[in-house]
Structure formats: structure tokens, C-alpha cells
Amino acid sequence: MPREPEFIHDLNDEQQRAVRHTNGPLLIVAGAGSGKTRVLTYRIAYLIQQQKASPNEILALTFTNKAAKEMKERIKQLIGDEARRLWMGTFHSVFSKILRFEAEKIGFTSNYSIYDTDDSKNAIKQLLRENNYDPKEIRPRTIQRLISDAKNELIHPDHYQEKFVHSTLDDITAKIYGQYVERLKHNNAMDFDDLLIKPIELFQKHEEVLEKYQDRFKYILIDEYQDTNHAQYKVTNMLASKYQNLCVVGDDAQSIYSFRGADIRNILDFKNDYEDAVEIPLEQNYRSTKAILKAADSIIKRNKSQLDKTLWTDNDMGDTITMLDNYDERDEANRVANYIKELKARKGYDYNDFAVLYRTNYQSRVYEETFRRKGVPYQLVGGLSFYQRKEIKDILAYLTLLINPDDDTNLVRIINEPSRGIGNKSLHDLMAQARAKNQSLWRILENVEAIDLYKPAENSVKKFVSMINELKRDMENGKRLVDITKKLLEKSGYMKALVEENSPKSMSRRENILELENAISYFEKNNTNPSLSSFLQEISLITDTDKYDEDKPAVTMMTVHAAKGLEFPAVFVVGLEEELFPVGSRDNEEVNIEEERRLFYVAITRAEEVLFFSHCRSRYKYGEEQRKRRSRFLDEVSPDVVRTETGASIKQNKKKLGQSNQTNHNSSGTTIEYDWKKPLYQKNNRSSNNTQIHYDNPDEDPFQVGAKVEHNIFGPGKIISRSGQGERTKVVIYFTERKQRKTLMLRVAKLRVVG
């Protein structure tokens, strides 16, 4: 056996144990900032150096392209160019590659399209219309989410009705789900979920294919295992079942993606799934100060569902965490901007050393306005993606047709974009023919003379088909992709239409298209065998985090979800208020609060040196100013390491902030109990002619913004704003079943608080 490489001594004792364990299942519980990426890369390099496996026998799965690229670069530094032969990438990119090789075995061609969320939504919208449902009433995005959930739980359309049909919406979803699956296959297309579940279908139907890839991948490593869903869990278990050399790395304390199907039980139950598994905790944190780490530890220890570990660090104690108590969100943004400028001057930070983290994307608007006004450069991660812009989606739809003309969704998108005289009626007639003959729309267009179509539209269809076929021949003859794209823009008239419009918006769209040409040119220069299919696959799998530029001299603004895996010298966690962070804190589901607490833990552990917590006393919502109470998490964090701006200790509410059918919270964050059997308001005894709402303590008024109520006529709802005082108090309620708002006088509304 070869001698151990020198690089093994770069690791601490626990990291070395993880790298040297080369036989059998391994669970590495890697706390925040504990060097998990280093352990993964060194482990892969060690397997190759010790001749346990060749590079192409190792499969490494990540959740972002950025992580995969970083790991591959590090491995290359350790072992050289052999790193290029590794199978390494995101779940979606790796399995889409496998499916390109094997697609015909499950009824697709190797040039299948990959539908992003927008493409899927459009396909579902079309199906709703074909089934005589109004997409304005039955939202395609809602149906899409339900179908996605079912797919990731491996629930077939035939079984959906048995498991989930409890309402009209479920019934519609069951109907559309089956049709959607058929439509995708008809279009030779897969959505993101299919890239995970189709390999399972492939392996179940073709055992010889499964065995081929089991023998190919003798070692499998999975990063961020706590973020895997049921489909990811299933497909990797199938691949690992022969050799059992499955190494998973993750941190249950950073499991924050249950909303998209991630199942924390995958990591919590790993040792039950693999009885011989070895568990190695990585507890030394190299990122944060002792003060930041103590704050994080005090928060996460309150969760019940977790693996046992305690992070520690040799770093300095560092500055205490500063808590900002703001009047409203504008005050908050102004003060954050001022602190950024002050810290930049005092500590010598650059702008890209700062991050502003928030719970939801809409919070970024006031920061964008404030930073622009104060001259603070920023980059926004998680906004509208370049590849989601209309003009880019249009050109990509054209390019998709060159390799997959049977893709009806993309064909419908651009058949009359820009306008070429193929109107809605003509398109409806063409699609009706396609459905009647069970053919793709493209096959109907190729034989348009065979149907009775408006003559000018027929001529336009012929020109369109001729243009696409000419571009396909150029591609087959080896013409450069960037030249094909330029010809497409000219022949289609797309660029000409933007120039003739001559508006600021059209000029901006033209610049975006020119940038797309640059992207295609760069792709061709940096790939050995560039193809249109591989380019479209690569850009379809780009994530928000992949677009983050850590070297850009600008403050980074992003949600906490988007920040996972990143680190910054100075971090501001803003909007720490009940019903914002944690979201939906009125729901008494401990598992939801535990995930929100894990999210707060992730936010804290992004910080290396300086950390700010910030909350507002009021915030605008639904066009109304609403009183806010600070997040319960600020009452859970260790008070030893948090100070106000003046340096004073923060005052914490020691009562448990919970919610049940008999509690309500006032603005100060304390818990108020009241008896449902007693009247919630009473008449003022001083005047029998003047009825007023009266409480011994105004803070005990349960009808605050956010309260869930019930009305005898309108049913259940939620108070979204409140105005006036005494007998003139009004509340605006959004009634969930009726999907409408009502403004009611509180003294006569006869409302009942329900939770």
C-alpha cells in the first residue's frame, strides 16, 4: 500500500479519522465552520492516492455547482489533473448526465429538454385551460408545488388520488398530475424533479443498468446530507447498496429546507439505515469568534431533534453581538448602512466583507433604496435570475427547438415572438390538430398544408419551419454556437424588433441578449467538445448561489437560506420579529419552530468577527403600519454575549413564548392567557347607550394584527390591519375560505379568536 500523503497532517485528529476511514458507511457530523469541505476533498484525494479507487469510480454529490467547482479545484491541487475524471457535481447535474446516456430505456431521447420552474408552470397552466379551469382561480404555481411534493415523495399519479384527495384542489391536482407527466413525455422533456426520480425508475426497470452504475461508483460521498429529500435518499441508497462505501457529511443543525422536501430524518436515522456505520463529529470551529459561537450554541441547544455535538474554537472571544432596536424598517436600513460605513472606516473592511441577511426576499427593497441613496454598493443574490428574464428565455426556447423540436411548451412560447402573423386563433387550431392526432405541434407545422388554416398564417408557419430547419442544418454541419445564435437573432427578427421599439426597456433587453452571446462564446472556448445540448443543460441547472461573486466590491444582500455555506467577516441579521423571523410563529407546531431556530443558527454562524441582530417596533404590511414584537429568539440567545448599542445588557423575557388556543401575545413579547368562556369585551358601565371595547390592560386585547379569528358568516380569517380606538376600532380581515378582505367594526363584528 502506498505511503500516506503529507497532506493528511494538515488536518486535526477527528478530520484525519474521517479521511482514513475508507471501508464501509461513514457519517461525518460537521458543525458550522468545522472544515467539512476540506475533509471531503482530502478524503477523495486520499482514496485515489491510496489506490482504493480510480477517479472515475468516485461519485461526489453536492447541492451547488459552486461547491462542486471549489472541491474539484482543491482536489486538483492535491493530486493533479486526475481530478478531471471525477464524477462530481450537484444531484441534478450528475443524474441528468446519467439520463442522457440511458434516456431511451425509459422512453425519452438523449436531447430531452429540462424544464425550469417557469416552464413547468406554463405547461400546467395550459393543461388547466384544456380542462376548462381558470388559471386565475386555480393557480398553476399551487398545482405545481403539490405535484413536486408528490414526485419527491415518489408518489405516482395513479396513487395520488388514493393518498391525497381530500378537497376540490386535491381532486384537480390528481387530474392534472397524470396529464402533466404525459405532456412532459410527449414533449421529450423532464422537470427538475424528474432528474431525481427518473433514475429511480430507470434502475427499478433495468437492473443491469443499476448494477453497471453500482460497479462504476465504488465510493459515494454526499455533501449537506441533511438537505436531501426522499428521492435523493432513495437513489443514492440504490447506488450504494452493493459496496456500502457511502460517506455522508452534514449538520442536522443546518437542516433548513423542509419547505422543498428535505427530510432531516435522513441524517438523524443514518446509523439505523447502515448498522455498521461509523459516526465522526467535527466540532472544532475555525470560522467564528467565541462570542458568536456561544450565541449560536445557546440557540441550537433548545432544539429537541438533533445529533449530539458541541462546537468549540481556539479563536479569540471577539466583540459582543450588538442588538439594534429600530422604529421601523427605514430606520433599520439607515442604521445598518451607517454601521457599515463606520465599520469600514474603523476596522478597514471592504464592502464585500459585509452581508445583510433577511428571512424573505421582499425585505431587500428598502435596503436597495437606502444603499443607493447613501452610496453603498451592493449585490443582490436571489433576485430575478439572468436566465429567467423574458428575452433570454425566448432565445433559449428557440435554441431548444434546434435539438428538441417536439418540445411544445417552448415552441408555443416563441412561434409568434416577435409577431409574425400567427395569432391566437391560428395557434389554437394548430394545437387542436396536434392533440387530435396525438402528435407534437412541430409535426403539425411541418405539414401545415394538410390542415385548413388562415392563408397568411400558413405562409408564416412555413417560413418559421424553414428558418428552424436551416439553423438545425447549420448546427449539424458544425457551425459555432455563437454564430448560430447571431443568425437566429437576425432571421427571427427578434433583435430588429427590439431596436425598432427603441425604448429604455427594449435597449436593456438587447444588452441582455448580447450578454447571452458572450456566455455562449465563453462556453465554447472553455469546453473541449461544446454542444448546444450541454450548454442548455448547464445553464438550466444554475442556482442563485452560483451567481454570487465573492470578489465584487459590494455589500451582499440575501436570504438566510441563500447564505448557507457562505461566510463573511461582518453580518447583519435583520427583521428579527415574530411572524417574520420566525415566520408563522402563531402556529403551535414545534417542528416548524425548530426549523426556524436552525435557520437563525445558520444566520449566526455565517459571521466570522462582527455580528448584529436587528428588529423593528413597527413595519408596513398590506399598506398599513403594524406594531411588531421582537423575535422570541432574541430571548433565547445567551445574554452574556449580546449588548445594546450603548453597551448595556439586553433585557430578556424569561417566560416561554408559546401559543395555544388559550394564549395570545402582546407587543412586548409576554404570554397572556384568557378564558374562552369569558366575554372578550364588555359594555362600559358608565353609559348604557355607548358600547365600547374595554380591557383592564390594553395589551390584553387579543384582536391584534396577525390574530386568527372566526366570523359566524365569513368563516375563518386573519386580522391583517387595525385602526381607530375604542368604539371606532376597525379591523381588516382576510377570510381564507372566501379569499376576500372585509373591514369590520370590532365592537359589533362578534369575532372569536381561534388561535
Tens-place pLDDT, residues 51-61: 999 999 999 99
Known binding-site positions: 30-37
Active site residue 102: no
| Catalytic annotation present for 254 | yes
Active-site annotation holds for 72: no
- Helix, coil or strand: residue 328: coil
Match 462505501 to its residue by C-alpha cell.
245
Going by their DSSP bridges, the two strands 708-711 and 740-745 should be labelled as unpaired
pLDDT in tens, 603-645: 999 999 999 999 999 988 766 778 899 999 999 999 999 999 9
CB 719 within 8 Å of CB 711: no
φ, ψ dihedrals at 359, nearest 5°: -80, -40
Which band of pLDDT confidence, cut at 50, 70 and 90, is reported for residue 755? low
- pLDDT for residue 207 is more than 80: yes
Q: Is 179 a catalytic residue?
A: no
The per-residue pLDDT for range 668-705, each reduced to its tens digit, is 333 222 222 233 333 333 333 333 333 334 345 778 77
**Residues flagged as binding site for ATP:** 30-37
**Active-site entry in 22, 37, 117, 284:** 37
Of the two residues 14 and 744, the one the predictor is more confident about is 14
Residue 660 — very low, low, confident or very high, per pLDDT cuts 50/70/90? very low
pLDDT digits (tens, 9 = 90+) for 278-322: 999 999 999 999 999 999 999 999 998 888 788 999 999 999 999
Catalytic residue, from 224, 263, 408, 595: name it: 224
Query: For residue 739, what pLDDT is reported?
Result: 72
Model confidence over 117-154: pLDDT tens digits? Answer: 889 999 999 999 999 999 988 999 999 999 999 999 89
Residue 656 annotated among the catalytic residues of the structure: no
- Going across the sheet that includes 87-90, the strands are 87-90, 58-62, 219-222, 246-250, 26-30, 278-282
Q: Do 426 and 464 form a contact (C-beta atoms < 8 A)? A: no
Q: In angstroms, rounded to a whole number, what is the distance separating the alpha carbons of residues 729 and 505?
A: 46
- Reported as a pLDDT band with limits 50, 70 and 90, residue 502 is confident
First-residue to last-residue Cα distance in the chain? 66
Tally of CB atoms within 10 A around 578: 23
| Averaged pLDDT, 321-348 | 95
Residue 242 contacts residue 78 (beta carbons within 8 Å): no
Q: What percent of the chain is predicted at pLDDT more than 70?
A: 90
**Residue 553 and residue 105: Cα distance in Å, rounded?**
49
DSSP 218-271: SEEEESSGGG--HHHHHHHHHHHTTT--EEEEE-GGG---GGGT--THHHHTHH
User: CA-CA distance, 192 to 62, in Å (whole number)?
Assistant: 15
What's residue 686's pLDDT?
35
- pLDDT per position as a tens digit, 529-558: 888 988 998 888 776 666 677 889 999 999
Determine the pLDDT at residue 745: 81
| Mean pLDDT over each residue of the chain, to the nearest integer | 87
Residue 41 C-alpha cell reads as: 476533498
What would the pLDDT profile of 70-82 be if each residue is shown by its tens digit?
Answer: 898 999 999 888 8
Q: List pLDDT tens digits, range 98-111.
A: 999 999 999 999 99
What per-residue confidence (pLDDT) applies to 684? 35
Judge whether 559 counts as a catalytic residue: no
Task: Give buried/exposed letters for 457-475 (b at 16+ CB in 10 A, else e).
Answer: bbebbeebbebbeebeebb
Which residues neighbour 332 within 8 Å (Cβ) at sequence distance 6 or greater? 324, 326, 366, 574, 575, 614, 615, 616
Most confident stretch, 3-12, 157-166, 282-291, 499-508: 282-291
In the prediction, which pLDDT does 692 show? 35
Q: Give the integer Cα–Cα distance in Å for 631 and 582.
A: 7
CB atoms closer than 10 angstroms to residue 558: 24
DSSP codes of every residue in 7-43: GGGGS-HHHHHHHH--SS-EEEEE-TTS-HHHHHHHH
Query: Which position has the grid cell 461582518?
Result: 570
Q: Report, as an integer, the average pLDDT of 567-573.
A: 97
> How does 4-19 read in b/e, with b if 16+ C-beta sit within 10 Å?
ebebeeebeebbbbbb
739 to each of 706, 729, 735, how far by Cα in Å? 16, 23, 6
Catalytic residue among 57, 102, 119, 223: 223
